[in-house]
Every structure is written in C-alpha cells, then in structure tokens.
Structure 1
Amino acid sequence: MKMMKTEEAVGHVLCHDITQIIRGVTKGPVFRKGHVITKEDIPVLLSVGKDHVYIWEKDDTLLHEDEAAAILRDICLGTNMHGSEPKEGKIELIADCDGVLTIRRDGLKAVNSLGEMMIATRHGGFPVRKGDKLAGTRIIPLVIKKDKMAAAKEAAGPAPLLDVHPFGQKKAGVVTTGNEVFHGRIEDTFTPVIESKLAEYGAVMAMHTTLADDPAAITAAIQDMLAQGMDMVFCTGGMSVDPDDQTPLAIKNTGACMVSYGAPVLPGAMFLLAYAGDGRPIVGLPGCVMYAKRTIFDLVLPSLIADVPVTAEDLAGLGEGGLCLNCHVCTFPNCGFGK
C-alpha cells in the first residue's frame, strides 16, 4: 500500500476503513476498506480530515475483490436467477421463479477447494420460491491474483454451477390398487394425500381409477393415462413384497425403464420409480406416504414436477440424511431429512 493525496486518489482502492464521527448523530465507517474512491467521495474524505489516504498500489496481475466476486457470480449464474451487485467482495444469487434448485456439486467443490474464495449454497434438489436466496459468494482477501480467478473458471467448467428449473403445470393420473379399497371394505385415504402434495407445486390429479390387485388391469390403466396425456402416473397400494402385491410387476409390464425399486429412505423404502419411453415418470408409492408427515415422496416430487430427471445415483445418494426423525413439530424442509 502507499499514501496518496486524497484529491489524486480517484479510482484507487482504500486499504483501510475511514471513520466519521458526528457528535450525537453517527460514529462509524463512512467508507469501508476496499472501497473504490470516486470524485464525489473527495469532499467527504476531506471533511473527515483525510488529506491523504492509504491505497492499494495498482498491479495488473491483481483483481479487486468486487471484480473477482463478479467472476464468481458468473460461474454460478444459471437459469431463472439473478445476482446482486458486488459489495465488499460479496454477492448473492436470488431465484426469479418457483422451481427446483440444481447444483453441479463437483464444480462447486472444485472452486471451493482453491482457497481465497468461497461459494455457499442452499441444498440442491429442493424447491425454492421466487425471491429466495440461493447462494452467497465471497472473495476472502481484498485483492486476488487474476490467474487464481482463471483457475476458478476452469475448475467450475463451462456450464453454470446453479440452475432453477421452474415448476410446470402438470396433470397427474392416480391408480389406486387393492382389493380392500376396490370392494369398498375400507375408505381410500391415500388419494387425498397425493392430491394435496401435488397442489403444493401447482399440479393437479386429472385422472383417477381404483382397481383390484390385478396386474394386467393396472398395467392397462397406466398405459391409458399416458395415452390420454397425463404428465405422470402415480400408483398406490400393492408396493410391498407380499405375494399379492402386484403393482411393481404391473409397472414393469408397461415397458417403462425401471430406475429403482427400493430407496435408502425411511419412510419410503419400498418406493419405485420408472420412466416411460418418452420420459414421463411412473411412480409406485409405498403405504407410508398415506400416513407419515414426510417421506421419500416429498424428496422426489419437486424434481418430477420440474422435469428434473431422477437417477438411480440420485436415489442412492439419499441414504445419508434419508432417515426422517418424525419430529413432534415437523419443520421440513428446514431440517436434515434428505440432506
């Protein structure tokens, strides 16, 4: 750093805070370390007794923290979000719509491993609302080497680290199975739960049928719902491993590509996910969805509504954090379930 006459310091970067004290009014920094001095700042600096200021010496190999923060912003900035203006090396990313946040975790980890910079995000795979804060970035030192930021770009890769996938206006078909429901021996309390959870994301149940434990009939019902334009189909009942649980077989017989039958989540171990040839999901929901507050359905449904493919690897990754503690007061998603 070097000392410079205040009148000659326009465009330079302060390397210390400038404090202003007005008795009974204010006492605090009028300019922060890292501030880029403007012509309008000169009278203010002189008024607080600063005929000279200490500034960072210019170096073509360095970037100011705000310039570097803008690079981090651009590394992160994907669809349906915007970044705040840099301030003291900090930037925030804000969602522009309701949807599901996805994160390229490998790139995020690679950037954060470089040191002297950081990107902190909320958990990917979860729903966000318009106006939600998605991430915060920070350059740690006041200035940083240009080649360090070039390394950050390379580590992140060409695609943005973050994206928000908007929720679509989805129409769902529901196939309720089970002899006990079909013959009216018990009330169907499962379907209202599905309708309620779909409504959380603006989706609707547009078709519904109740069938006995007949795999051929279940298969035909699924295929009919897809033929009539349903964006996804959910099957309830018959998802266990008892001999009369026929729903997994019926889904398989549609010709859909099976992603997984079973998932490392409790409640929700007997979950089934498959995709029809055109990419529409067919889901077998275990009985726990009917009575538990939150289950694997709550972890997967937002992605299905937002057309974010769910892979076997994604489901396997839910094992850590996949145990719901069934808290007396449920605070999901502001808890560890699914994270």
Structure 2
Amino acid sequence: MKLIQTTDAEGAVLCHDITRIIKGVSKDAVFRKGHIVTKEDIPVLLSAGKDQLYVWEKEEGMLHENDAAEILCALCRGSHMERSQAKEGKIELTASCDGLLKVDNQGLKAVNGFGQMMIASRHGNFAVKKGDRLAGTRIIPLMIEEERMRQAKECALRATGGRPILELKPFVHKKAGIITTGNEVFYGRIQDTFTPVIREKMREFGTEIIDHVTWNDDDKKVTASILDMVKKGADIVVCTGGMSVDPDDKTPLAIKNTGARVVSYGAPVLPGAMFLLAYLEVKEKGTSRTAAVMGLPGCVMYARRTIFDLILPRVMADDEVTPEELAALGQGGLCLDCPVCTFPNCGFGKGV
C-alpha cells in the first residue's frame, strides 16, 4: 500500500474502512475497505477529515477482490438469475422466476477447495420463488493472485463440463390426472380424503387437473385409466393408495403394465418408503413426450411432508429423477415430524 493525497485518489482502492462521525446522528463507515474511489467520493472523504489515504498499489498478476468476484459470478450464474453489484468481493444471485434450483456439487467443491475464495448456495433440487436468494460468492483477501483465479476457473469448468455451477429450471405448466384406488373408497365405505391433499399440493404449482377417477382394487382398470389420461394430454398421473404388499394392493402392478419405465418402487425416505416413480414415453403425431406416473403411499394423505414433496418440484420442472438420486435421499430422508413444520427450511430431503 501507499500513502496518497485524497485529491489524487480517483480510481484508487481503499485499504481500510473510512469512518465518518456526525455527532448525535451517526458513526459508521462511509466507505468500506476495497472501495474504488470515484470523483464524487473525494469531497465526502475530505469532509470526513481524510486529506490523505492509504491505498493499494496495482501489482502485476494481482486482481482486486471485486474483479475476482466477477469470475466466480460467471462460473455460477445460469439462466433465470439476477445478480447484485460486486461489493467488497461479494456478489449475490437471486431467482428471476419460480423454479427448481440445481447445483453442481463437483463444481462447487472445485472452487471452494482452492482457498481464499468461496461460493455458498442454498440446497439444490428444491423449489425457489422469484426473488429468492440462490447463492453468494466472496473473495476473502482484498487482492488475490490472477493465476489462482485462472486455475480455479479451469478446475470448475472441467468439473461441470463447461456448464454453470447453478441452474434454475423454470416450472412448466402441467396437466395431471388423479386415480384414486381402493375398495373402501370405491364402495363408499369411507370418504376420499386423499384426493384433496393431492389437488392442494398440485395447486401450488398451478397444475391443471384434467381427469379424476376412482376404482376398486382392479389393476386392469387402473392401467387402462393411466393410459387414457395420458392419451388425453396428462403430463402427470398420480395413483393414490394400493402401494403396500397386501393382496389387494395392486397399484404397482397396474403402473408396470402400462409399459412405463419404472425408476424405483421404494425410496429411502420416511414418510414415503412405498413410493413408486415411473416415466411413460408417449408418441403423438410424429413427436414424443414423457409423462411421469407416481404411485403414492397412504402417508401422503396424512403426513405434512413426505417423499411426494421432494419429487413433485422436480417433475414440475421436467427434471428427470434417477435411481441414484433417489438412493442418495437416505441421508436426510427422515422427517422428524417437528411440532412446527419449517419445510423446506430444514434437513428433510437434503441428502449427500
């Protein structure tokens, strides 16, 4: 650092906070360490009693924290994201639409493993609203080696395959069908309290319910209804009940017999172990699309949060779930059924 006259400070980088005291009004930093002095700042600095300043000298091969933060921001920022201005080596990203946040963990680790720089994000595979904070970047020192930033950038891009570390997938308008199963409901022995839960959860995503049928424990009827709903344009078909191992529980067989590709029957999540997820390829007029078919266990009807709450946002964003991703939900897959539910601001569903 070097000492200069304040009147000559335009473009210089402050080495420390500049505090201004106004008796009875305030005592605070008027400029922070790392601030780049503008022409308009000079009268303010003089009024704060700063006729001289300690500033950083430009060194070959070194980057100012804000310039380095721009590199981290570029590595992180995907589509549908707004960014803040760089300040003290920090840049924040926020969502510009409702959607599903995806985080490339390998790219995140690549950057954070270099030291003197960091990226902190919210957990991936969860829904976010427009305006939600997604991530923040920070350069730790005031100045950082340009070579270190170059290496971090190369390492991150190698880990992500050249893609941004963060991706925001907008939610897509979906059409859905609901198939309620069970002799007890079909024959009017009990009231259907399952379907209203599904309708409410789908309403949060603006889903259009195009069909709803109720069947007894007849797998052939359920299979036919799944295929019929998809033919009518359903992007999602949800089958409620019939997911256990009792003789009358035939929903898994019904889904399998549609020809759908079953991702998994069973998930390491409580509540929701007997969940089934499948994808059905649909060919229409020379084009093809994929419909998600889900078999929901009874816990979805009465538990506040279940496996359905973890998978539904991904389905709504056309983010296909793999068997490996379902298996990874084991760590964090136990809902603690807290007296006051704070989901998604809790550990439920936040696996490795």
Q: TM-score w.r.t. structure 2 length? A: 0.93
Segments of structure 2 that go 5 or more residues without pairing to the other structure are 282-288
In the TM superposition, what is the alpha-carbon distance from 1:62 to its structure 2 partner?
1.0
Aligned-partner Cα distance in 2 for 1:94–1:26: 31
Aligned-partner Cα distance in 1 for 2:187–2:44: 83
Q: Is the 8 A contact 1:3 1:52 kept in 2?
A: yes
* CA RMSD, Structure 1 to Structure 2 (Å): 1.3
AA of the residue aligned to 1:175: I
Query: Any idea what the Cα deviations from partners look like across 1:189-241, whole Å, max 9, x if unmatched?
Result: 11111001101111132111111222222111111111110011011111111
Aligned-partner Cα distance in 2 for 1:148–1:97: 34
Q: Is the 8 A contact 1:107 1:161 kept in 2?
A: yes
Aligned-partner Cα distance in 2 for 1:73–1:327: 36
Q: What are the within-5 Å matches in structure 2 for residues 236-247 of structure 1? A: 236-247=240-251
Q: Is the 8 A contact 1:232 1:280 kept in 2?
A: yes
Q: Which runs of 4+ in 1 moved over 6 A?
A: none
**Secondary structure of 1:238 counterpart:** coil
Residue equivalent to 1:6: 6
Q: Is the 8 A contact 1:68 1:89 kept in 2?
A: yes
Q: More deviation in 35-44 or 121-130?
A: 35-44
Within the candidate set 330, 333, 336, 1:322 is matched to 333
**Secondary structure of 2:309 counterpart:** helix
Aligned residue pairs, count: 339
Query: Any idea what the Cα deviations from partners look like across 1:71-103, whole Å, max 9, x if unmatched?
Result: 111111111111100111111111111111111
Residue equivalent to 1:337: 348
In the TM superposition, what is the alpha-carbon distance from 1:14 to its structure 2 partner?
1.1
Aligned-partner Cα distance in 2 for 1:47–1:208: 72
Residue equivalent to 1:172: 176
Aligned-partner Cα distance in 2 for 1:248–1:134: 37
Q: What are the within-5 Å matches in structure 2 for residues 153-172 of structure 1? A: 153-157=153-157, 158-172=162-176
Aligned-partner Cα distance in 2 for 1:243–1:60: 76
In the TM superposition, what is the alpha-carbon distance from 1:5 to its structure 2 partner?
2.4
Residue equivalent to 1:96: 96
Q: Is the 8 A contact 2:186 2:215 kept in 1?
A: yes
Q: Is the 8 A contact 1:195 1:204 kept in 2?
A: no
Q: Is the 8 A contact 2:235 2:290 kept in 1?
A: no
Q: Is the 8 A contact 2:19 2:28 kept in 1?
A: yes
Query: Any idea what the Cα deviations from partners look like across 1:155-186, whole Å, max 9, x if unmatched?
Result: 22221111221122211111111122222222
Residue equivalent to 2:69: 69
Q: Sequence identity, in percent?
A: 64
In the TM superposition, what is the alpha-carbon distance from 1:269 to its structure 2 partner?
0.1
2:85 is the alignment partner of 1:85:
yes
Aligned-partner Cα distance in 2 for 1:46–1:176: 75
**Secondary structure of 1:284 counterpart:** strand
Residue equivalent to 2:311: 300
Residue equivalent to 1:33: 33
Segments of structure 1 that go 5 or more residues without pairing to the other structure are none
Residue equivalent to 1:204: 208
Residue equivalent to 2:252: 248
AA of the residue aligned to 2:131: G
Residue equivalent to 1:193: 197
Aligned-partner Cα distance in 1 for 2:208–2:318: 15
2:285 is the alignment partner of 1:274:
no
